[in-house]
Structure 1
Amino acid sequence: MTIKLSNATLADIGGSVATPGYDRSKLTAGILHFGVGNFHRAHQAIYLDDLFNLGKDLDFAIIGAGVMDFDHAMREKLAAQDFLTTVVDQSASRSEARVTGSMVGYLPPQNVEAIVEKMCDPAIRIVSLTVTEGGYFINPATGEFDPTYPAIAQDGANPDAPKTVFGLIIAGLKARRDKGVQPFTVMSCDNLPHNGKVARSAVVGLARLSDSAFADWIDANVAFPNAMVDRITPATSDRERRIVAEEFDIEDAMPVFCEDFKQWVLEDNFPAGRPALEEVGVQFVPDVTPYENMKIRILNGGHAVIAYPGGLMDIEFAHEAMENTLIRAFLDKVENEEIIPIVPPVPDTDLQDYYALIARRFANPKIGDTIRRLCLDGSNRQPKFIIPSIADNLKQGRDITGLALESALWCRYCYGVTDSGATIEPNDPSWDRLQQQAQKAKDNPAAWLEMRDIYGTTADAPAFVEQFTAWLNRLWADGAEKTLQHYLAGDR
């Protein structure tokens, strides 16, 4: 018999499932978080749960906030179980569940007055966010904040009625300044290079559209620490809910499954105060850049390398792609020849050991991470995870054969049909545009590289254009499987 998750039933949950070892009634909110998705609840919320289990910093609990339509349903489901979450860590050999209690509330999504009022509370010392790589309104080619996005232009023209996360943050900071309350720290937990810098650009850039003086004040007075975050966390489906019910006897509408690895490297820049996260494994460093370069190039770039051939070959899960000898060999060759050699040194880290760890994580069969999820949002991910490696190799006169093939595989995937003829459903915010360009590129590969907002000046490099063109033509002639065979045989 399953137990419906709630505060009242925590004591009834079986002994194999860890539950909060602290009194949740003593928690008070110190962090307001935008984007209460799976990654947040498997990462930041876990670290805080660990800290609270030590009996420390109980005034840094999380209160959620959101601006998307789907946030309403998420809030209702979490509220019905007192904002508790079952998190299942999975290695290749075991599954271990715990119930986390570090979240104490969730403000009504899109309720500007309630969200701004809470941000004005001096007890809120950190506003954190996981709004995905595509949620920062960045021009992909330049990496800079782009004020021409319609949502940003609307908030810039209507600063008192914000609809974006960044508009709400600006309203909260303005309310605190007007009341003489120290500004909170804005902490991005998204998977972006220099995510703190990117968040600062978005907040300051948006503020500048309506109040240049206040934008200057934000730039001078608000901290935006950079961070590197890492944990593979697939989406939740009925499969995960069923496993939680059958294996752990818990009825949870919003469980989270994740690997048994997690990492958080964070710059220590929190003028308003922070929880003692170093006591539960967070690395505080003066400069997070080496760690984020390593992770984004090797892990996220590696995900892209296995994703698109896997998608074209009708492979469902990441671990199944790793079991495919061609895809695994493709990953090893691209990583060892074109990605790892251009990653700058990382303190106390052997990059080959790090890659070996990444490969083991990709191959974990328990995670159920889908190839479709890894293929998602390439228009935002490729300019961050793949194209910088291409550009750096070109600058150094190094080979880009495998990365050019990866880019051709992405283009071929966006055509919308696998090699077997199965339809690929839309899988990118810009799917219509990508599909249109991919269809043109079937007969004219240069059409794909016309997307300068994605490729930037890399599209002008003859070596890249030549390799991309040759690989895309071969993909159409031979399919992904035979093309990988050609690449691995050195037939270029």
Structure 2
Amino acid sequence: MTALSQATLRDLSCRTPGYDRSRMGGGIVHFGVGNFHRAHQCVYLDDLFEAGGDLSWGITGVSVRAEDGAAFADMQAQDGLFTVTEVDEGHRQTRVVGSIHRLVDPGERPGILRALADPQTRIVSLTITEGGYYLSGDHPNLDHPDLLADAANLAEARTVFGLILAAIADRHASGAPPVTVLCCDNLPHNGDLTRRLVHGLAERVDAGLAAHVAQAIRFPNSMVDRITPATNRAQIESLAADGIEDRRPVFCEPFMQWVIEDTFSSGRPELERVGVTFVEDVTPYELMKLRILNAGHATIAYPAALIGLTYAHEAMRDDLVSRFFRDVEEGFLLPASPEIRGVSREDYLASVTHRFANPAIGDTIRRLCLDGSNRQPKFVLPAVRELLAQGRDVSGLALVSALWCRYCAGTLEDGSVVEPNDPNWDLLNRTALEARDNPSRFLELRDVFGDLGSDPVYAPLFSGFVRSLWEHGVAPTIEAYLRVRQNAR
């Protein structure tokens, strides 16, 4: 078995970087070098470098999380190299990706600031997950203690956004070119959200710095997509059976997509050469993905969990869950998705359906159920509001959220316990149990439901489904819903 490193690339039989990695620069600093980033942005850049693209756009990986130390150490021992294995039914292809230029020890604040302030750096990108943006509802909470501490002493900033702002200030003072801050997290209007955080923090530090952020720093919105679960032991062992020892391998589906608004402060890599789509407005692409894919995940996740399924592909093969998924997608999520010239919503749904059913990816239902308090108000409930505004039925989406409420009660239908699966689990669990007798209690979670909690159409639908789930169970409730839908056609 060959341990992965720059020196052993010639000994590997899979695809390896053919470009001269010693010539790479650090044009991009990236926060959050997790599996998704390595399966997505790193792969696109690796493809670009293989195609003869500008090597100055290599990635410097950073993190504010000390707990990332082991992962960074493993990748440093491999010279920043790692494998990405695409898997689908009947398909498996492994490659070595080499687009990481260097890694800074996690939490090593001076090193992170040096990388951010380096004149070579022209893009700062982020995949820090939804929970990293200090959200309260749809808006960043600039009164969060972490952000207030950074605003009070920017020289000792500790948050991602405080460090970015400190580097922007240093660069402005030294005459270095302004950076683009590129959010690659799965959030609606992710660039606008990141701008509000950085600019709002700057307003609390210095008016002149805030003006510079507003005038010179670009925050393009982007849409990212590639299903990339956590790597499991069996996958690591399968790679070892192929003769490759990789301490941090990534397994993902073959599909990937990246759509970015083409507004950058100081240039960008020519990623359109390798399939990235640059547009004036990413919103239609973002909404189509958030509704059809992300809300689709929520549609299968909670019923599948409650009846004891483990994997997404099992849910798609289950007759009840698959019929519910198809009804919600075709009846509610497609109509709430925008039309895009040259893009078929129906074809996109067909692609999503195939991807969810991929047995090789091993995407767990528990992962899909994670962090519902952040995901429901971003993926499911905006579609409810849009359909209500059109005077249309929202019953399917009300049932999706009612199933989430039932899941948050903390037990599956067979009585087994749901381990905490949300940053707000204690509150959700307590409120979901109260909702068994009084469903309106769950709708009082204003950070999740907002004004939908008292909507005269939505609230009775949600409450009726919650009562049915407790009185009759998951399968009878969904079957009764589907019968009503069928009779209404």
- TM-score, normalised by the number of residues in structure 1: 0.97
Instruction: Determine which of 326, 330, 339 is the counterpart of 1:336.
Output: 330
Instruction: Determine which of 50, 67, 90 is the counterpart of 1:53.
Output: 50
Q: Which amino acid aligns with 1:401?
A: S
Instruction: Determine which of 244, 247, 265 is the counterpart of 2:239.
Output: 244
In 2, the alpha carbon distance for the partners of 1:156 and 1:486 equals 54
In 1, the alpha carbon distance for the partners of 2:247 and 2:461 equals 48
In the alignment, does 2:323 pair up with 1:326? no
Instruction: Determine which of 451, 460, 480 is the counterpart of 1:457.
Output: 451
Instruction: Determine which of 352, 371, 374 is the counterpart of 2:368.
Output: 374
In the alignment, does 2:157 pair up with 1:157? no
Q: What is residue 429 of structure 2 aligned with on the other side?
A: 435
3-state SS of the aligned residue for 1:46?
Answer: helix
Stretch deviating more after TM superposition (224-233 or 112-121)? 112-121
In 2, the alpha carbon distance for the partners of 1:84 and 1:433 equals 41
In 2, the alpha carbon distance for the partners of 1:213 and 1:406 equals 47
Instruction: Determine which of 385, 392, 401 is the counterpart of 1:391.
Output: 385
CA RMSD of aligned residues (A): 1.2
1:441-492 per-residue CA deviation (whole Å, 9 max, x = no partner) reads 1111111011111111111211111111111111111221222211111189
Instruction: Decide whether the 8 Å contact of 1:170 with 1:203 is kept in 2.
Output: yes
Instruction: Decide whether the 8 Å contact of 2:60 with 2:115 is kept in 1.
Output: no
Instruction: Decide whether the 8 Å contact of 1:18 with 1:99 is kept in 2.
Output: yes
Q: What is residue 10 of structure 2 aligned with on the other side?
A: 11
Q: Which amino acid aligns with 1:152?
A: L
Q: What is residue 247 of structure 2 aligned with on the other side?
A: 253
Which segments of 5 or more consecutive residues in structure 1 lack a partner in the other structure?
Answer: none
3-state SS of the aligned residue for 1:187?
Answer: strand
In the alignment, does 2:482 pair up with 1:482? no
3-state SS of the aligned residue for 1:490?
Answer: helix
In 1, the alpha carbon distance for the partners of 2:332 and 2:51 equals 44
In 2, the alpha carbon distance for the partners of 1:342 and 1:297 equals 7
Instruction: Decide whether the 8 Å contact of 1:376 with 1:427 is kept in 2.
Output: yes
3-state SS of the aligned residue for 2:182?
Answer: strand
Q: What is residue 83 of structure 2 aligned with on the other side?
A: 86
Give the deviation of 1:202 after TM superposition: 1.0
Which segments of 5 or more consecutive residues in structure 2 lack a partner in the other structure?
Answer: none
1:133-173 per-residue CA deviation (whole Å, 9 max, x = no partner) reads 22112221xx2221122222222223221121101100110
Stretch deviating more after TM superposition (153-162 or 266-275)? 153-162
3-state SS of the aligned residue for 1:9?
Answer: helix
Instruction: Determine which of 76, 79, 102 is the counterpart of 2:73.
Output: 76
Q: What is residue 106 of structure 2 aligned with on the other side?
A: 109
Give the deviation of 1:249 after TM superposition: 1.5
Give the deviation of 1:413 after TM superposition: 0.7
In 1, the alpha carbon distance for the partners of 2:427 and 2:209 equals 37
Q: What is residue 31 of structure 2 aligned with on the other side?
A: 34
Q: What is residue 233 of structure 1 aligned with on the other side?
A: 228
3-state SS of the aligned residue for 1:128?
Answer: strand
1:334-359 per-residue CA deviation (whole Å, 9 max, x = no partner) reads 11111111212112111111111110
In 2, the alpha carbon distance for the partners of 1:447 and 1:24 equals 57
Give the number of aligned pairs: 486
Q: Which amino acid aligns with 1:445?
A: P
In 1, the alpha carbon distance for the partners of 2:382 and 2:28 equals 33
In the alignment, does 2:317 pair up with 1:297? no
Instruction: Determine which of 141, 144, 158 is the counterpart of 1:146.
Output: 141
Instruction: Decide whether the 8 Å contact of 2:24 with 2:57 is kept in 1.
Output: yes
1:364-391 per-residue CA deviation (whole Å, 9 max, x = no partner) reads 1110000011111111111110010111
In 2, the alpha carbon distance for the partners of 1:485 and 1:154 equals 52
In the alignment, does 2:397 pair up with 1:403? yes
In 2, the alpha carbon distance for the partners of 1:488 and 1:130 equals 38
In 1, the alpha carbon distance for the partners of 2:17 and 2:177 equals 32
In 1, the alpha carbon distance for the partners of 2:459 and 2:261 equals 38
In the alignment, does 2:447 pair up with 1:448? no
In 1, the alpha carbon distance for the partners of 2:206 and 2:431 equals 39
